[in-house]
A = this chain, B = another copy of it.
């Protein structure tokens, strides 16, 4: 059975009445994904949409010539695989479990009905997509105007905000992140990322390790990213 308390607090489902929530949950199927497993493959027919309950996913896209890049990180509470919401019948990317993960799945055929019946849910979903659009534009602006170091700084700050666990003065990224991963988020190579992080470590901004990233001076990073706010 699905943990109702866990689900009903999610922002995406706010404004939904009890019966509608019940109907939604009775149709959900819970699925587990071991670290490294793909929930579905880019290009597959979009048969289901998902809600991440626990864990962390990296959404990858592969270009025609085989290059890979990371579209975004899926955090607990996030919807993913909502191909219909962008008017597609195939999944645009491949979500891979960065740690053991648990998700709820619904048949995509339900999505249209759900949205038709609940304008509130439709608006929530729209705004969620809109926020992703905003984030994508922010990244585009960065890639247009900042050098690699600035982009890596932004990527690390984003990771800290989305998946950071505070312990004392430090913030640890809560899932395994390799240099390669950061490179694929910022459009550079793992070599350059490694050099930058090494340099930062000598300046006391971050601490590194194998698939480990700890921020020790967030304000310093922000200054380096070129934006005092954020």
Residues of A that sit less than 8 Å from B by CB = 61, 63-65, 67, 69, 71, 85-88, 92, 112, 115-120, 122-123, 125-127, 129-134, 136-137, 139-141, 143-145, 184, 186-187, 226-229
Contact = CB atoms under 8 A, between A and B. Distances in A.
Contact of A119 (B115, B134, B139): B115
A86 B187 contact: no
Contacts of A187: 140, 143-145
A187 B126 CA distance: 28
Contacts of A134: 86, 88, 92
A59 to B, nearest CB: 10
Q: What is the oligomeric copy number?
A: 2
A130 B69 contact: no
A186 B143 CA distance: 9
Given A130-B87, A133-B86, A226 B144 contact: no
Given A69-B141, A141-B63, A143-B187, A123 B116 contact: yes
A116 to B, nearest CB: 5
Given A67-B145, A145-B67, A145-B187, A136 B126 contact: no
B145 A143 contact: no
